[in-house]
Structure 1
Amino acid sequence: MNFVAFERAKQGTGASRRLRNSGKTPGIVYGGTTEPQLIEIDHNALWHALKKEAFHSSVLDMEVAGATSKVVLRDVQYHPYKQLVLHIDFQRVDDKTKLHLKVPLHYSGAEESNAVKVDKCMVNPIVNELDVTCMPSDLPEFIAVDLSKLEKGASLHLKDVKLPKGVTAKIRGGQNNNPVLVSVVPPAVIVETPADAAPAADAKGKGKGKK
């Protein structure tokens, strides 16, 4: 994906407010061997781009003053209640340096699994994106996860997923290196009271009362 940004000279709260009032979003690009660069982006174009999943998990081509560089999205600050992007951060990408980024997980095939078709289980995704490290050229837009082999009583763990070539999962903390990604919940068992149980009890009670 590609987008156009413009150089921004002024900084500070007042300058950023005036920029937003004119339909622009202030931002910054950092990383690499060059100094951080202040930028501004058309807010409407940025708002629509942020709705696309790939904008958050892909290497982007950013054009500034006729020059194109590769960046990844690092941070977005939204207004608490308005549909407004307050600030955005990008990081320059070096072809020879590994990236650490969140990549979305795309689940499919659950309806075809024995867990759902045969045993009527509920399939609940617990993790929707995965922290990964990889070279920029190996960065996937998303990771496809096939759930068609799910069975009752067996949840899907990280080690059950085949990651794309060159991609390594980054687990925080390091204590659990095989977290559950998808849980399989068996259907609830409803215990029904026999229909004739209550009347029988009532009959006994009435009989005792007559004595």
Structure 2
Amino acid sequence: MSVSFEITAQPRSDTGKGASRRLRRTGMVPGIIYGGHQEPSMISLAHNELILHLDHEAFYSHILNLKVGDATEQVVLKDLQRHPAKPFIMHIDFQRISAGEKIRMQVPLHFTNQESAPGTKAGGQASHMLSDVEITCLPKDLPEFIEVDMGEMNVGDAIHLSELKLPAGVELPSSEHEDTIVVNIHSGHTATDEDETEEGAAE
């Protein structure tokens, strides 16, 4: 992996909505660490520091080093609650990882060669139906993203989940949605265009 993330948190004992509100007023974000065959741990993190990390796409699909007191644990981000109207993080969940146990994660999709695809050059338009995909893998195999190569796509072509080229050790957790379309290229000519053309001819 090309980058690493170091996060510092503080243990907390106060729980409940009132305690969380008091924390947020001091610029801290309440959170929790769970999993790894251990009891959950309540933590708090500096909001400003967290915002800087969240600006990096890789933060959402990366192994993170979380320091709480004198101990450092390896975790992944599992849930993030944002304020519905303000740019504030309300709560954050981390999951501990174990080297020999698979994890389930949402990983972003990176679409490549879209502009050079035959369908795009012919005037077609690409529609990205998914922006990320759920995968399972061991922590060591966790990719930062999944590449979707559009270089051979023509107008009318689509790439389905089952056609994604996954890195070694990475799997889709279920084949139930394998026919879900990830991206397609369709004609750029719309019904509105046709109507305007017909109206112009009639005039």
- Structure 2 CA distance for aligned equivalents of residues 97 and 11 of structure 1: 30
Query: Residues 106 and 133 of structure 2 are in contact (CA less than 8 Å); yes or no, is this contact kept in structure 1?
Result: yes
Aligned match of 1:179: 180
Larger CA deviation: 94-103 vs 6-15: 6-15
Aligned match of 2:99: 95
Query: Residues 131 and 171 of structure 1 are in contact (CA less than 8 Å); yes or no, is this contact kept in structure 2?
Result: no
Aligned match of 1:206: none
* Aligned 1:1-211 pairs, distance under 5 A: 1-117=5-121, 119-171=122-174, 174=176, 176-188=177-189, 190-191=193-194, 192-193=197-198
RMSD: 1.9
Secondary structure in 1 matching 2:115: helix
Letter in 1 for 2:100: K
Letter in 1 for 2:106: K
Instruction: Name the CA shift for 1:196/1:24 in 2 (closer, same or farther; >3 Å).
Output: closer
Determine what percentage of the aligned residue pairs are the same residue: 38
Query: Residues 158 and 181 of structure 2 are in contact (CA less than 8 Å); yes or no, is this contact kept in structure 1?
Result: yes
- Structure 1 CA distance for aligned equivalents of residues 90 and 200 of structure 2: 64
- Structure 1 CA distance for aligned equivalents of residues 77 and 150 of structure 2: 30
Instruction: Name the CA shift for 1:13/1:114 in 2 (closer, same or farther; >3 Å).
Output: same
Secondary structure in 2 matching 1:151: coil
- Structure 1 CA distance for aligned equivalents of residues 199 and 46 of structure 2: 68
Larger CA deviation: 19-28 vs 181-190: 181-190
Query: Residues 27 and 89 of structure 1 are in contact (CA less than 8 Å); yes or no, is this contact kept in structure 2?
Result: yes
Number of equivalenced pairs: 195
TM-score if structure 1 supplies the norm length?
0.86
Letter in 1 for 2:9: A
The runs of at least 4 consecutive aligned structure 1 residues that moved more than 3 Å come to: 189-198
Larger CA deviation: 14-23 vs 135-144: 14-23
- Structure 2 CA distance for aligned equivalents of residues 181 and 9 of structure 1: 44
- Structure 2 CA distance for aligned equivalents of residues 19 and 194 of structure 1: 63
TM-score if structure 2 supplies the norm length?
0.89
Secondary structure in 1 matching 2:50: helix
Letter in 2 for 1:142: F
Q: Deviations over 1:151-179 (max 9, x none)?
A: 1221112233211000001347x1x4232
Residue 197 of structure 1 and its aligned partner are, at CA, apart by: 6.3
Residue 54 of structure 1 and its aligned partner are, at CA, apart by: 1.2
Residue 195 of structure 1 and its aligned partner are, at CA, apart by: 7.7
Can you give the 5+ residue segments of structure 1 that lack an aligned partner in the other structure? Answer: 199-211
Aligned match of 1:208: none
- Structure 1 CA distance for aligned equivalents of residues 165 and 202 of structure 2: 54
Residue 51 of structure 1 and its aligned partner are, at CA, apart by: 2.3
Letter in 2 for 1:50: L
Query: Residues 71 and 91 of structure 1 are in contact (CA less than 8 Å); yes or no, is this contact kept in structure 2?
Result: yes
Letter in 2 for 1:87: H
Rg (Cα) greater in structure: 1
